[in-house]
Amino acid sequence: MSNIHIGYLLFILFLCLFASAFFSASETAMMSANRYKLKHLAKNGNKNAVRAENLLDETEKLLGTILLGNNFVNILATSVGTLIGIKFFGEAGVVFVTIILTIIVLLFSELAPKTLAAKYAENLSLFFAPFLQIAVFILYPLVALSNKTVNFLLKPFKVDIHTNDKDKVNLSNEELKTVVISASDDKEESTENQKNMLIGVLELKDVTVEEVMVPRNEIIGIDLNDSWEETLNKIQNCHHSRMPVFRDSLDQIEGVLYLRDIFNLYLNKNCDKDFNSDTLLKIIHPCSFMPDTTPLTVQLTNFRREKRRSGLVVDEYGEIRGMVTLEDIMSYIIGNFDNFDGTEEEPEIIKTEIPGVYKVSGGISLRVLNRELDLNLPIEDVNTLSGLIIETLENFPQQGTELMLSGIKIKVLEFAHGVVELAEINLNNLEENNPSD
């Protein structure tokens, strides 16, 4: 080999360095590529994406091929470089070429290709896929032999190198939420709304009906012991499509009135047009009840199976705690709807003129508050900001009460009827404030 012309040796050395760069870049590109993007491209008929997916499904074989090829060309480059050094500098050329080749391989065959591949992982993985497929086919016998040898050597340590690569793409709900949150740096309102909707869907399994229900004290219903004029006034001014019907209190529930049934009653030509309490009792529907610990995913399934859109929430003692409708669950996912009269509900979080300071409804769900303001308030024992404030103070606050929760300064702005109706959250200079009653 020492008789080979120097030009051929330089050409072989160049090819080895190029091949080393190819294997280095292809390894980084394939391992860094977003598998979900590749799956999407493969479903749309991109042949290289299909090839890349197939290669990644057998990562063991792919990495074995890349490592085998990379080590072969690097060792060959070292041998060729040594011959070139001896031809030019004699025995001293071995040391000189070793230093030069180390720098060249590090810069041009390792760092530069891998940096480029990491930045353009998806595009380069598609470009490299067909070449890697050929390399895997050619080198597979050697790769298979190498893997069997490694498996034999590791067998005493009870290590199995054969892993199921498909399991690596299975993500938990929390991991999926992290993917959604970090999927885009776009801060446009539409993008943020889409993220919040996706996170809301992923949280349905963890959120219970207790967290989204209309509390008992806020339920608007019909008391059969009220005068008929009061009942009609409630029906005429109700912004909801369903109203519970009871006697004296919700504990003596009679049923649920669907407002559409009143219209159907008047549209029915064979029906008496006199609408009174007796007629009301005839058109109400039986109530549906649900435990307060029911996850939203389960309740959505129950609504669909029972063909209902609302139900009353009860605790472990069977006492009514609130009411949940399909709209309440949908509002948790996509935000509040406009009222039927065209007016929009008051936002639960309002930015003030001071940066980092917000006015927040006391009844807001802690999950929603954490999600909207990127907070970490505890959600284990209570569901609302009001409940968290009262639990922390172990007493009812007064207007102007300030406290610290998870490093966040909170001030009670309005308190009435045993609940915090409005609070101020200050995210500025958190460590300078101390809790106070």
Q: How confident is the model at residue 107 (pLDDT cuts 50, 70, 90)?
A: very high
Place of tokens 């009906």: 209
Q: Give the pLDDT score at 436.
A: 44
Q: 120 and 16 in one domain?
A: yes
Reported as a single tens digit per residue, the pLDDT across 284-302 is 999 999 999 999 999 999 9
Q: Give the pLDDT score at 47.
A: 93
Q: 275 and 158 in one domain?
A: no
CB 93 within 8 A of CB 9: no
Q: In this model, does residue 127 exceed pLDDT 90? A: yes
What total number of domains does the chain contain?
3
First to last CA, the chain: 88
Q: In this model, does residue 167 exceed pLDDT 70? A: no
Flag whether 339 is in a domain: no
In this structure, are strands 222-223 and 242-247 parallel, antiparallel, or unpaired? parallel
Q: Which amino acid is at 177?
A: K
Q: 164 and 31 in one domain?
A: yes
Write down which residue in 310, 334, 358 finishes a domain: 334
Q: 59 and 158 in one domain?
A: yes
Q: In this model, does residue 269 exceed pLDDT 60? A: no
Q: 107 and 14 in one domain?
A: yes
The average pLDDT across 48-66 equals 90
Flag whether 187 is in a domain: no
Flag whether 101 is in a domain: yes
Reported as a single tens digit per residue, the pLDDT across 349-388 is 889 888 889 999 998 888 888 888 888 888 888 888 999 9
Q: How confident is the model at residue 437 (pLDDT cuts 50, 70, 90)?
A: very low
Cβ burial of 342 (10 Å; 0-12, 13-18, 19+) is exposed
Q: Dihedral angle at the C-alpha atoms of 82, 86, 90, 95, nearest 10 degrees? A: -10
User: What letter would DSSP give residue 377?
Assistant: -
Structural domain that includes position 110:
6-169
Q: 308 and 376 in one domain?
A: no
The average pLDDT across 246-255 equals 90
What gap in Å lies between CA 310 and CA 243, rounded to an integer?
A: 10
Q: 412 and 322 in one domain?
A: no
The average pLDDT across 382-401 equals 90
Contacts with 106 (C-beta within 8 Å, 6 or more apart), sequence order: none
Query: Which two tokens mark 68?
Result: 């085998």
Q: 416 and 373 in one domain?
A: yes
Q: 164 and 71 in one domain?
A: yes
Q: In a 3-state reduction of DSSP, which class is residue 288?
A: coil
More confident residue, 37 or 182: 37
pTM of the model: 0.59
Q: 228 and 151 in one domain?
A: no
Q: How confident is the model at residue 433 (pLDDT cuts 50, 70, 90)?
A: very low
Share of the chain above pLDDT 70, in %: 85
Q: What is the DSSP string of 27-72?
A: HHHHHHS-HHHHHHHHHTT-HHHHHHHHHHHTHHHHHHHHHHHHHH
Q: 316 and 408 in one domain?
A: no
The average pLDDT across 163-173 equals 57
Flag whether 183 is in a domain: no
What gap in Å lies between CA 247 and CA 371, rounded to an integer?
A: 40
What is each CA distance from 69 to 65, 73, 118, 237, in whole angstroms?
6, 6, 20, 77
The residues that bridge with 247 in the sheet, in sequence order, are 249
CB 129 within 8 A of CB 137: no
Averaged pLDDT score across all residues of the chain: 84
